[in-house]
Amino acid sequence: MGEVEITECKNVIKKLIPRVLKAVFWCLLIGVGLLLLKQFLSLFFFNFYPESQKLFEIFAWTIVFFAFLIKLSEGTIFKYAFMIGRSFFLILYFIYATNGGVLTVEASEFFQATGMHIQLEFTPLVVLLVLSSLLTMVKDVVAAVNFLNETSA
């Protein structure tokens, strides 16, 4: 390796380390917030619907992962690709986690010997969440086109 290549590697590392540290710090903030939310939800919701704890953990880890990638790739077109990917994941996640907007809970877990099923239907809420994610995805596509337009000029 020549001196030029070593200097270029040092410059890349000098640029990359602050980005990584900034992304890690940002992810720590988001992670602490999600951890506090998990503790709050465990007091009320996770006792009645135990599968939701696993779904929440998948949601939290994915949000932290995308936050890291977005913060790390700030100033590049990849930021917008990760933002669009996050919106796409949220659409699929909301549909899967809510079973298409119908939540079924076995009441026999709460009331002994009843054999009841409680079924909640909140399809309009899921539709609003999906539409919100679609609008966010469209906004991110427009922002990506704007970014490309500004960098090419």
Q: Are residues 88 and 33 in the same domain?
A: no
Instruction: Write the pLDDT tens digit of every residue in 13-63.
Output: 888 899 999 999 999 999 999 999 999 888 877 777 777 889 999 999 999
Pair (48, 116) in one structural domain: no
Distances (CA, A) of 119 to 27, 36, 50, 101: 36, 28, 15, 10
Dist. CA 39–CA 124, nearest whole Å:
28
CA distance 107 to 110: 5
Average pLDDT score, the chain:
87
Residues 6+ apart with CB under 8 A from 55: 97
Task: Specify whether 57 is located in the same domain as 83.
Answer: no
Is the same domain home to 66 and 77? no
| Co-location of 39 and 91 in the same domain | no
Q: Which residue has the higher pLDDT, 151 or 105?
A: 151
Q: What angle do CA 59, 133, 137 make, to 5 degrees?
A: 115
Reply yes or no on whether the pLDDT at 110 is more than 70. no
Q: Which domain does 123 fall in, by range? A: 73-153
Mean of pLDDT values over 94-116: 72
Kindly report which listed range (20-29, 84-93, 97-106, 120-129) carries the lowest average pLDDT score.
Answer: 97-106
Q: Tell me, yes or no, whether 102 and 58 share the same domain.
A: no
pLDDT grade for 111, boundaries at 50, 70 and 90: low
Question: Do 134 and 63 belong together in one domain?
Answer: no
Q: Which of 71, 104, 132 is the last residue of a domain?
A: 71
How far apart CA 148 and CA 98 sit, in angstroms, is 37
First to last CA, the chain: 35
The reply to whether 99 and 136 lie within a common domain is yes
Q: Which structure tokens are listed for 117?
A: 């099923």
Q: Are 153 and 78 members of one domain?
A: yes
Number of domains observed in the structure of the chain: 2
